[in-house]
Chain A
Amino acid sequence: MVLFILRRLGQALIAIFGVMTLVFFIQRLTGDPTYLLVPETATQADIEAMRRSLGLDQPIIVQYMSFLRDIAQFDFGRSYVQRIPVTTIIASRLPYTLQLAGGALLVSFGLGVPLGVVMALWRDRPATKLLTGFVFASQSMPTFWSGILFILFFAVWLGWLPPSGAGGIENLILPSFALGLLSMATFARVTRTAMLDELSKDYVRSARARGVATPRLFWRHLARNAAIPVISVAALEISQLLAGAVIVETVFAWPGLGLLTVQSIVSRDFLVVQGIVLIGAFVTIALNFTADILYSVVDPRIRLDGSRP
């Protein structure tokens, strides 16, 4: 088990290192990253001064090393627009994105998993088939369209909820549903497939033959076995939610990291964009690492050979 965790940790560290390298090279896609960091009004002298102060006149390998060193110390540089450290800006917006992601996870997990169970257990009823069709179709729904439709129905026409902005819990409801809807469909689909896989296995039939009541069969046997794929999808979905927040926050003017990203691109505040992307990538890698560990805790078969079944 320890060996398994260590090996996965090693892989995660390599991935983090790789992401930093990737971002470093993307910075240099247009040649000189200095132009990303100066305002559009900068004179040639400003650009030269900026280049020297950032060490961009050094050999590229030196630049790369100092880039890695700064990021490793959680130094993402200073915002050129706001003139404060990028970490401070990100820290001030992070709570909003976490609230939104939490709300969306509540919606997607809380509705998606029961939906999936219903879709599996009563799969032959016409009503269930219709429901399944709707859930599958909702996977093709762009969040920015469903978000706008939510605003239209619940804020403009019905007037139940505020259309945008941050504030109380009522501001969080529409964005959470808009962001959570897509993941809800994923959870429902994965839960349904996992339940159907389990239902077709021999132990279910023999348990039924022994007279095990349905609720007991469900909680003691089905739910546990079907949980494995759902857990691994959960970690992926959290990172999807964080990425999806960029769009949903823009739709609802929710002042989290997503809106900050878009605002920073518009104001050409490159270091803030880079900081958010790096942190987003690190969080994704950490979530996947956690999922793998959880996975092996739930299903001991995985631990034995270190690979997945």
Chain B
Amino acid sequence: MSAAEPVVATKPRRRKVRVGVWPFVAIFLAFVVVAVFAPWIAPHDPNTQNLLGRLKPPGTEARNVLYLLGSDELGRDLLSRIIYGARISLSVALLSVVLSSVVGSVLGMAAGYFRGWFETIVMRVVDIFLSVPAILLAIITVAVLGPGFINVVIVLALTRWPRYARVAYGQTLSVANMPYVRIAKFMGAGPGRILFLHILPNIIGPLTVVATLEFGLMVLFEAGLSFLGLGVQPPTASWGAMLSVGRNYVATAFWIATFPGLCLFLLILSVNLIGDALRDRLDPKSR
């Protein structure tokens, strides 16, 4: 087992607090719709500055522009920026989850199937990655690569693939000696066919659960990096960067930080609850 991550007690058998998950699925889908159709939904251009309409409180009008949620320090419409910010949050999270889950799952499955020196190397590297707080790894990698959309995705994928590798590895070990796998091998199926057609479909459930929970974490990490100025660069609207500006204007313009933060909270909460519900449905061990 890991050198550093106690596996037993951190993931105790959960006793669920019964909350209907469907309202949160609706919230999540609403964010997705808003992100996809941002140009049609947003009332204004997110980057158009209006220096006479700076720091306007929600509901005010300046120069024929109605600021439903107020305006920021450059007079940009906060609502439009929040709507466009959803695009960044969701696309960074989606891309980094896809990248890290593919890399992690393939390495983990291969380690569990081929065993031997490959297993030793992959799982040692996984242990090392998991023994460092992910945010520290992300920070030093951004310090090397520099900020920006693509780099944030790369950094997040680089720091998170071990989570999938460990789950895929454990799951593969548990099915690798099942009769159906041995029969497939006996009938001449190659390793690629066995891994992707026989093993993967049987371990996809737990991997999906991890991916969902990681999705929420990736939204949080992207916002955190942007908050620190290490994420997507201005003027692109990102909730984390908006919070960072809002923090400086908290005494005079509370809305700049409050509304993006609320969206961030709702998005992460809904993803986490969906992940918990999926875990209950798909992961037999949690029952």
Contacts and interface: CB of A to CB of B under 8 A. Distances in A.
Nearest to A280: B136
Interface in A259-309: 261-262, 265-266, 270, 273-274, 276-277, 280-281, 284-285, 288, 291-292, 295, 307-309
A262 B140 CA distance: 10
Interface string B117-134: 000000011011101111
Nearest to A247: B224
A172 interface: no
A137 B269 contact: yes
A48 interface: no
Given A144-B227, A270-B143, A19 B9 contact: no
Interface residues of A, number: 73
A197 B269 CA distance: 26
A121 interface: no
B243 A148 contact: yes
Contacts of A288: 3-6, 131
Interface-centre pick from A141, A274, A307 (highest chain B CB count, 10 A): A141
A148 B250 contact: yes
Contacts of B26: none
Contacts of A309: 8
A129 interface: yes
A243 B131 CA distance: 12
Contacts of A229: 8-10, 12
Given A140-B216, A148-B247, A232-B8, A36 B133 contact: no
B261 A148 contact: yes
A44 interface: no
Contacts of B139: 246, 261, 265, 273, 277
Contacts of A152: 250, 254, 257-258
Interface residues of B, number: 59
Contact of A156 (B6, B124, B125, B254): B254
Interface string B10-23: 10111101010000
A196 B12 CA distance: 11
Contact of B6 (A23, A33, A144, A236): A236
A270 B141 CA distance: 11
A240 B132 CA distance: 10
Interface in B59-118: none
A148 B246 contact: yes
Given A140-B272, A232-B10, A285-B4, A163 B127 contact: no
B12 A193 contact: yes
Nearest to A276: B136
B188 to A, nearest CB: 39
Contacts of B268: 140, 142
Contacts of A30: 144-145
Interface-centre pick from A12, A142, A247 (highest chain B CB count, 10 A): A142
B168 to A, nearest CB: 20
Contacts of B244: 144
Contacts of B140: 23, 26, 273-274, 277
Interface string B225-263: 001111000000000100110110011001001100110
B135 A243 contact: yes
A193 B8 CA distance: 13
Contacts, number: 189
A291 B216 CA distance: 28
A192 B132 CA distance: 27
A257 to B, nearest CB: 10
Contacts of A223: none
Interface string A237-251: 001101110110011
A29 B282 CA distance: 38
B213 to A, nearest CB: 11
B3 A15 contact: yes
B133 A284 contact: yes
Interface in A17-58: 18-19, 21-23, 26-27, 29-30, 33, 36
A251 B247 CA distance: 7
B218 interface: no
Contacts of A132: 17
A140 B9 contact: no
Nearest to B6: A232
B137 interface: yes
B132 A280 contact: yes
Interface of A: 11-12, 14-15, 18-19, 21-23, 26-27, 29-30, 33, 36, 129, 132-133, 136-137, 139-142, 144-145, 148-149, 151-152, 156, 163, 190, 192-194, 196-197, 228-229, 232-233, 235-236, 239-240, 242-244, 246-247, 250-251, 261-262, 265-266, 270, 273-274, 276-277, 280-281, 284-285, 288, 291-292, 295, 307-309
10 contacts: A15-B131, A26-B141, A140-B216, A149-B258, A149-B261, A152-B254, A235-B6, A246-B136, A261-B139, A270-B143
- In order of increasing CB-CB distance, the 6 nearest A-B pairs are A145-B261, A18-B128, A229-B9, A243-B133, A140-B269, A11-B3
Given A149-B258, A308-B6, A309-B8, 19 more contacts: A12-B3, A22-B128, A133-B19, A137-B269, A140-B268, A142-B264, A142-B265, A148-B261, A156-B250, A193-B12, A228-B9, A229-B10, A235-B6, A236-B5, A247-B227, A262-B228, A265-B228, A277-B132, A285-B131
